[in-house]
Structure 1
Amino acid sequence: MVKELRQQFNKSFTQQKYEAFFNDLNTAHSSLQFRPAETPVFVPKHFHKQMISACESIIDVILKPDFKELTENSIPKDLRVKNEDDYPGCLTFDFGVCINDHNKLEPQLIEMQAFPTLFAYEVLLDDTFYKHFEAPSNYSSYLGALSKDSYLKLLKDLILKNHAPENVILLEIFPDKQKTNIDFYCTQDYLGIKPVCVTELIKKGKELYYFNGGKETLIKRIYNRVIFDELLQQEEWVQEKAKVLFEDIDVEWMPHPNWFYRISKYTLPLIKHPNIPETNFLNKIEKIPSDLENYVLKPLFSFAGQGVVIDVTNEDIEKIEDRENWILQRKVQYASVIETLDEPAKAEIRIFYFWPDKADRPIPTNNLVRLSKGKMIGVRYNKDKSWTGGTFGLFER
């Protein structure tokens, strides 16, 4: 995205550098289960400002007094968790790198969630990158004026709050089997909290416990990584074990599970911004657009993009009975503008926001990027392709 820096990086790149980088990255826990891309994305100031402007417009909506009322129906009745807090501790915003009608690059929002992502792994990735590659000193993966140390302090305050690490857990479904488990181990390295499976929770009265080094230990705060849509796909005995999460338990959440639904595809129809594609609830559309080829059909409740219809037809819409649970979104065209050593790649940039305790607004902190040469972003669209996978953006300061 910054032509001179891209040319410099590509010219100095060697496969030997990448292999050394990959081996070093994987050595940390020998658990890297996704492909790290060969390059970061260099993000200029004007592009960064457009993304932040869109994020802030969404936050403005979240801060409105009636936001919870407007999003009450977003939470499935059988997945509502008690003791919801006033705001989510974290937010993530995904932007596609696109080309507009004036032939200029611009970000377009793809999705947003009040849910964690690779908050800790990106620190390891940044450290490892600079051991093997170079980048200009006025570019950083950390946003605002943050550095590694100040970012980790924010992350620690966010997840631990004022609790001892042994009383805080990272909660997942079989964490060792998750493709993103390297982030769990990095979180443990940086913060001292353990990844715990939902099947390992012990309830006594209103309190939860887990075994920590063979000792039954009280849980005061949960760093929640459980996606309930994924939970519903588990065997019955796993879902039975997880029912404790829906009871009246004496724990703090980061973030509270209800926010996963409140800030999601469900929120998009509430927001108008030039970098946010037009989105409408399917049941609120009076006339179906004649140019359906320019739209994508998405279920509000799905796991890992399942159910998304890219090439929409009238027949696809007609067979949907629960239209209140679907959105029709203006399609964005990813631009293949990241020059590589063969064909160019598309990019999707995820911005991290943290909401410090008692702060009026959340703040941008870090990012990740996914590169793709397939029809969509994702591993299954990039088999046997190089210069694809997970990476990060270096933002001009």
Structure 2
Amino acid sequence: MIPKYRQQFNQDFSQEKYSLLKEYLKQKSGLEPAFRVSESPIFLKKEFESKLIDASESIIDQIKTLSPDLLRKAVPDNCYVPGHTDKPHFLTIDFGICRSENGEIEPQLIELQAFPSLYAFQKVFEDTFCEVYPFLSEIRNKMPHEEFKNYMKDLILGNEDPENVILLEIYPEKQKTAIDFVLTEKLLGIKTVCLTKLKKEGKKLFYENEGKLTEIKRIYNRVIFDELDRILDLKTEFDFREDVDVKWVTHPNWFFKISKFLLPLLQHQFVPKSYFLHEFPENENLENFVLKPLFSFAGSGVNLNPTKEITDVIKDKENYILQRKVNYEPVFEDINGDFSKGEIRLLYIWRENDEPPILLENLARMTKADMVNVDFNKKDAIWIGSSNAFFAE
């Protein structure tokens, strides 16, 4: 796709430049990425970008029509957090890069989340690709870095002093996304705080900031609920379900509301048909579907080849979906003449006074395996891992 830029990149590529890419990322953050960084960006045509935007705008319009009562059903009662907001502050939409029956390369929706992804990292990642390969600057994201920074500050800080705003995570230093936390701190001047370090007095939350107890007024939330459930003997002063005087960015309830829960409700030519497991029609063939738990991240619990024996023993069928399989097309040629498949995630923000959300960046992932997960690739595979998409005519 876009042979001009693919050929130029492959000609310019070297292991030295790949090492330089990773070294620049380390210099900018003080950390090495804990996930694999792909050697290459992905190049896609503007025509493909238009399809992405068209599908995303349709999905967003459909989300707007959904009733609060319906969305409330997505939130388990034992996970409901008070102080809900009318909109999610973040919206990320994942598309597989596929080939249609008529031979055209097209996006197919994989999932969507109202949860912040690697916003700060991806902007730096794009900048770094352009530093190592200057020709990429002619097709880079048109949004200047300062404009991106102002959007993020307005969204996450609001009118608060940075010392009263925190990025909240559970054991952040152990997370694969720690590099994004550091770059977010640099971008916004806020601190990353572990959930176990929060102090609670009445309805107010505090953290220790340079030796003094500092009130928290806004929380940039990066805690994933199902991760909390897996941590035994977790000791905290604060439970998410308590009513406290903070502004959530974004509110934890949206983690459930904008999720795989919506996939059976959405319609578009680039949205594969999905069903809740307990509503799967008898006239459909399981072989054509992927089984996914509603509330899991990073491919956890996904079964690419479900059988009736597997689905019959699932007790909470309402917490699973079956999504029609799509065929990822290997279109990204590496220096050895082999091809990688890919996904692209659009990173939106949705400020409270904005009618439509604003697209800030993208995140791409490359693979040579059946699942877009580095762990499923051969150890010596290249052109795999986290990447960034560039669009051109």
Between the aligned partners of 1:296 and 1:76, the Cα distance in structure 2 is 23
Mapped contact 1:165–1:193 kept (Cα < 8 A)? yes
1:246-265 alignment to 2 at 5 Å? 246-265=241-260
1:338 maps to amino acid: F
Give 1:1-397 correspondences, 5 Å limit: 1-28=1-28, 29-64=30-65, 66-140=66-140, 142=141, 145-236=142-233, 238=234, 240-241=235-236, 243-287=238-282, 289-290=284-285, 292-342=286-336, 343-382=338-377, 383-396=379-392
Letter in 2 for 1:215: K
8 Å CA contact 2:92, 2:115 repeated in 1: yes
Q: How much has 1:119 moved relative to structure 2?
A: 0.5
Equivalent residues of 1:297, 1:327 under 8 A apart: yes
**TM-score using structure 1 length:** 0.95
CA distance in 2, matches of 1:174, 1:312: 34
The percent of aligned pairs where both chains have the same amino acid is 45
1:147 partner amino acid: P
In structure 1, distance between residues paired with 2:367 and 2:136: 24
Amino acid in structure 1 at the alignment position of 2:327: Q
**In 1, Cα distance between equivalents of 2:237 and 2:77:** 16
For the structure 1 residues 278 and 131, does the alpha-carbon distance in structure 2 shift closer, same or farther, using more than 3 Å as the test?
same
Q: Secondary structure at the match of 1:246?
A: coil
1:138–1:396 contact (8 Å) kept in structure 2: no
Give CA deviations for 1:257-279 in whole Å, capped at 9, x if unaligned.
Answer: 00010000001111100111101
Q: 1:200 to 1:392 in 2, by over 3 A?
A: same
- Alpha-carbon offset, residue 285 of structure 1: 2.4
Task: Show structure 1 runs of 4+ deviating over 6 A.
Answer: none
Q: CA–CA distance in 1 between the matches of 2:35 and 2:296?
A: 22
Deviation digits for residues 229-287 of structure 1 (CA, Å, limit 9, x no counterpart): 00110122x2x416522101000011000001000000111110011110111212231
RMSD of aligned residue pairs (Cα, Å): 1.5
Tell me: CA distance 1:35–1:294, structure 2 relative to 1, closer, same or farther (3 Å).
same
**Unpaired segments of 5 or more residues in structure 2?**
none
Letter in 1 for 2:254: W
Distance change (3 Å), C-alpha of 1:242 and 1:350: farther
Please give the TM-score of this superposition, normalised by the length of structure 2.
0.96
SS in 1 for 2:391: strand
Query: Using the alignment, how far apart are the partners of 2:229 and 2:203 within structure 1?
Result: 24
1:98–1:334: 8 Å Cα contact kept in structure 2?
yes
- Structure 2 counterpart of 1:107, one-letter code: P
What are the Cα deviations for residues 291-330 of structure 1, in whole angstroms up to 9, with x where unaligned?
A: x222101111234322211012121222222211111110
Task: Report the Cα distance in structure 2 between the residues aligned to 1:46 and 1:365, rounded to whole angstroms.
Answer: 19
Whole-Å Cα distance in 1 between the matches of residues 280 and 312 of structure 2? 13
8 Å contact 1:203–1:244 — kept in the other structure? no
Structure-2 separation of matches of 1:48 and 1:226: 31
Q: How many residues align?
A: 390
Whole-angstrom CA distance in 2 between matches of 1:334 and 1:25: 29
Looking at structure 1, the residues matched to 371 and 345 of structure 2 have their Cα atoms a distance apart, in angstroms, of: 15
Aligned-pair distance for 1:226?
Answer: 0.2
CA deviation after TM superposition for structure 1 residue 60, in Å? 0.8
Q: Give the C-alpha shift of residue 120 in structure 1.
A: 0.5
Question: What is the CA-CA distance between 1:389 and the residue it aligns to?
Answer: 0.9
One-letter code aligned to 1:55: S
The offset of 1:288, in angstroms, is 5.1
Q: Deviations over 1:153-184 (max 9, x none)?
A: 11111111111110000000100110110000
Higher mean Cα deviation, 379-388 or 331-340?
379-388
Alpha-carbon separation, structure 2, partners of 1:319 and 1:162: 51
**How far apart in 2 are the matches of 1:97 and 1:286?**
27
Could you tell me which amino acid in structure 1 is paired with residue 36 of structure 2? R
Give the 3 Å change call, closer, same or farther, for CA 4–34 of structure 1 in structure 2.
same
Q: Deviations over 1:9-62 (max 9, x none)?
A: 111211111112211212231232112111111121111111111111111122
